[in-house]
Structure 1
Amino acid sequence: MSTEVVATSAISAEQQPSPSAPAQEKVNLLGMSRPQMEKFFEDMGEKKFRAGQVMKWIHQFFVTDFAQMTNISGKLREKLEKLCVIEAPEVVHKNYSKDGTRKWVFRVGDGDGSLVETVLIPAEHRSGLRRTLCISSQVGCALDCSFCSTGKQGFQRDLTQAEIIGQLWMANYSYMEDVPVLERERSVTNVVMMGMGEPLLNYDAVLNSMRIMLDDFAYGMSKRRVTLSTSGVVPKIDQLVKDIDVALAISLHAPNDELRNELVPINKKYPLEQLIAACQRYIAKDGNESSRKHVTIEYVMLDGVNDHPEHAQQMIKLLKNLPSKINLIPFNPFPHAPYGRSSRNRIISFQKTLSDAGFVCTIRQTRGDDIDAACGQLVGQVADRTRRAEQWKKKIAQSNEIMRSQG
């Protein structure tokens, strides 16, 4: 099998050509969920169980060459070769940190701005080695959270299902490319939809990608090990509870509306009262082995901004009726960032206040700093097609000039 990963020509299931389409419109099978692939095979006049066979070759043995799918007839393999491809996004850069973190930069279109990043973070866990993959859902981000470098790049477009699941495929394949096909196994243990973009603003593609992650014919991941992180798109949280059972994380970052309006602008549309109510509705639905027993609260620690004792007290009041686990994230500076990282003592004090109030509160270990793979740093070098970063840097420079003139 060729180990070259070619540039993606992925298209969503809604854009699938018919099985009789010309070669230049080949269908990318990588991003299809099982129902989508079953329909595709039935439309070809084949039995739908072929979908499960092909999915296993793609997602469990990481095969992209139909000729290697030995439990499928030669005639069908020839047909698939003419009609289909299995293509992940093109890897234009990869970097492995000394702490074991891995980062990939994928090209998903034309130009330097059509790039997304994916980060894999290994960690020792009581159940063994855990490999958590942080997956992107959009090229850039439209929400413009003030502390996130990705938001300064602006928004270009949504990723397709193939471009989303291709990140997971490549992360697994990076451990398996030199392993014989039938000896390969899935290496990524956890997925967090916390990369570039707001997942709930690319709802259908993200939903179907997570279905592939949970599918036993694909990655077979536990629903407790697939987490979607949102800045607070309330209507889509309510939709998510109807469509899939995965863990939910909230990018909170402020315990009151005034401060959150500044840090997370979507709060102006969906303020904290609405957001917390949506989270309560999300975990209210009971289910066997449900992942909805609590919500993870993400809180980046910004020096002098959201790390005061009164902020911790406001957090306690805000979350008192929401089963939650709180993850404090030391801020990862980037060029021209208007914030600094809270001191270690301040973060520990903040944690203690929350823990004493009965919350499970952890401090995220900073990983991948040496390869710009830490939270909030993704695609720091992406070309800015919206000029948002240029305008933002100009604003910071003007503020600094005013301070110097007054000082």
Structure 2
Amino acid sequence: MTFKILLLDFTRGQLQDLMTSWGEPPYRGNQVYEWLHKNLVTDPMQMTNLPKRLRERLAAESVVNPLERIVQVDDAHGETRKTLFRLPDGATIEVVLMLYDKRRTVCISTQVGCGIGCPFCATGMGGLTRNLSPGEIIAQVHWFERWLREDAPDSEGLAVQRPSRVTNIVIMGMGEPLANYDATMQALRAIADPKTFALSARNITLSTVGLVPKIDRLAEEESLPIRLAVSLHAPTDRLRNKLVPINQRYHLPKLIDALVRYQEKTRRRVTFEYAMMRGINDSVEQAHLLVDLLTPVRKAHVNLIPLNPTPGSPYQPSSPEAVRRFQQVLEAGGVTTTVRLRRGVEISAGCGQLRQAAQQPDVLQFIRA
């Protein structure tokens, strides 16, 4: 079997070098880059301003789209589409399209599985297989962008009028993006490139469990002003050590100090994700502790998210009453909050759930139905 390179893995400069190594002028690299990231072609033969011999060589030796769709499921309201993709090595990843009044948001993955091991998360329960390459990350966004760009009267039951565009990206799918830092940043630079895909970096949100050294590194990314969210889920080290095991390395005081440094450097707000779990982290007392914890963080905002439950898990979503009480305490303490909509519960839209279901045909059949 002949190994084929993934063109989306290459930066503009690397494509110029590749073309030079093939005996072509460097500007051919710019042309290929624009076909990939502006026109979103999936076949090198579509790159019509390239010589035929070069298109044929690209077709023979490279791959543009590494994704093969396995399962696609939509929620009953036509607001959420979750897709499970297979990669060339057989690994599988999830991507979610979420539709709002004025936003078309894609939730992407950065790893196959996850090594953090959060016990309430389906991805964490499966462990880490490998990091995704830059091109494998970019391809997820391109897949839904191509679908949205289609000038089609039929939106396949989804609540969106086409042609349209991806307006926002959240890096909250499978994996810890800061554990795959270089590939994630390369992918985001390509997506935010004003000359090609041109999505504003301010419309990109990266969610991390709190890898302190990488947060410090992210603060130095002055040319890529993305938004930062922290998957917090607990107000004390004792509880967070259980829910988010990386906390045993980076305790909450270290994490909060890193976020204060991040804000001093970037002047940007930090959002906190708090998955609300019945009887575990949703008491009024814990809400007061969360207010105290976030006091040093300027303009901290908390997204309260009733947990998307994993089948068979002891971790279940908080009741609406518990969420409301928790929110009242936070807001009384000066912490702004949003109760996030639970999207796609019936289609296993929580991180890693569709991938897990695909390994259980009886469960997958229920989801498809």
Calculate the TM-score normalised by the size of structure 1. 0.79
1:59 and 2:31 are equivalent in the alignment: no
Cα offset for 1:364? 0.5
Q: Which residue in 2 is equivalent to 1:68?
A: 46
Partner of 2:122: 149
Q: Does 2:189 correspond to 1:211?
A: yes
Offset at 1:58?
A: 2.0
Q: Which amino acid aligns with 2:42?
A: T
Q: Which residue of 1 aligns with 2:84?
A: 105
How far off its partner does 1:66 sit? Answer: 2.5
Match of 2:365?
none
Deviation string 1:350-385 (CA, Å, 9 cap, x unpaired) is 11221222222100001111211135635232559x
1:325–1:360 Cα contact (<8 Å) kept: yes
Check whether the contact 1:106–1:117 (CA below 8 A) recurs between aligned residues.
yes
Q: Is the 8 A contact 1:200 1:236 kept in 2?
A: yes
Structure 1 range deviating more: 254-263 or 235-244? 235-244
Flag the 1:24–1:177 CA change in 2: closer, same or farther, 3 A: farther
1:316-335 counterparts in 2 under 5 A? 316-323=291-298, 324-335=300-311
Contact 1:133 1:168 in 2 (8 A): yes
**Counterpart amino acid of 2:338?**
T
Residue 360 (structure 1) aligned with residue 336 (structure 2): yes
In structure 1, C-alpha distance between the alignment counterparts of 2:317 and 2:352, rounded to whole Å: 12
1:249 matches 2:229 = yes
Select 2:270's aligned residue among 268, 289, 295: 295
Q: Which runs of 5+ in 1 are unaligned?
A: 1-22, 287-291, 385-407
Aligned to 2:243: 263
For residue 315 of structure 1, report the CA deviation from its aligned partner.
1.1
After TM superposition, give the deviation of residue 104 of structure 1 in Å.
0.9
Residue equivalent to 1:348 = 324
Question: What is the CA deviation profile of residues 151-194 of structure 1, one whole-angstrom value per residue up to 9, with x for unaligned ones?
Answer: 11122111122211111111112234566xxxx97621111111
SS at match of 1:380: helix
Q: Does structure 2 retain, via aligned residues, the 8 Å contact 1:55–1:217?
A: no
Task: Report the alpha carbon displacement of residue 307 of structure 1 after superposing the two structures with TM.
Answer: 0.9
Distance 1:24 1:317 in 2: 58
What CA distance in whole angstroms lies between the structure 1 residues aligned with 2:357 and 2:66?
A: 22
- Aligned residue number for residue 91 of structure 1: 69
Q: Which residue of 1 aligns with 2:255?
A: 275
Q: Which moved more, 1:254-263 or 1:374-383?
A: 374-383
Could you tell me how far 1:55 is from its partner in structure 2? Answer: 2.7
1:135 maps to 108
Give the partner amino acid of 2:234. A
Give the C-alpha shift of residue 45 in structure 1. Answer: 4.2
Deviation at 1:40, TM superposition (A): 2.5
* Equivalent of residue 285 in structure 2, options 301, 310, 334: 310
The alpha-carbon distance between structure 1 residues 376 and 147, as it changes in their structure 2 partners (threshold 3 A), is farther
* In structure 1, C-alpha distance between the alignment counterparts of 2:140 and 2:259, rounded to whole Å: 28
Deviations 1:218-247 (A, max 9, x none): 321111111111111111111222244321
Aligned CA distance change for structure 1 residues 50 and 284 (closer, same or farther; 3 Å): farther
Q: Is the 8 A contact 1:61 1:185 kept in 2?
A: no
Paired letter, 1:93 = V
* Residue number in structure 2 paired with 1:232: 210
1:320-342 deviation line (CA, Å, top 9, x unaligned): 12132110000111212112211
Identify the residue that residue 140 of structure 2 maps to in structure 1: 167
Distance in 1 (alpha carbons) for counterparts of 2:174 and 2:217: 21
Q: Deviations over 1:67-90 (max 9, x none)?
A: 322333445434433443312311
Give, in whole Å, the separation in 1 of the partners of 2:220 and 2:23. Answer: 32
Higher mean alpha-carbon deviation, 191-200 vs 95-104, is at: 95-104
RMSD over aligned CA atoms reads: 2.3
Distance 1:210 1:199, change over 3 A: same
- Find the residue that maps to 2:103 and give its secondary structure: strand
Equivalent position amino acid for 1:269 in 2 = R
* Overall identity of the aligned pairs, in %: 44
Equivalent residue, structure 2, for 1:390: none
What's the secondary structure of 1:242's corresponding residue? coil
In 1, the alpha carbon distance for the partners of 2:89 and 2:269 equals 41
Q: Distance in 2 between matches of 1:81 and 1:334?
A: 42
**What do the CA deviations read for 1:5-24 (whole angstroms, capped 9, x no partner)?**
xxxxxxxxxxxxxxxxxx92
- Deviation of residue 142 (structure 1)? 1.2
8 Å CA contact 2:16–2:29 kept in 1: the answer is yes
Structure 2 unaligned residues grouped into runs of 5+:
153-161, 361-369
Contact 1:60 1:186 in 2 (8 A): no
SS of aligned partner of 2:115: coil
Equivalent residue, structure 1, for 2:3: 25
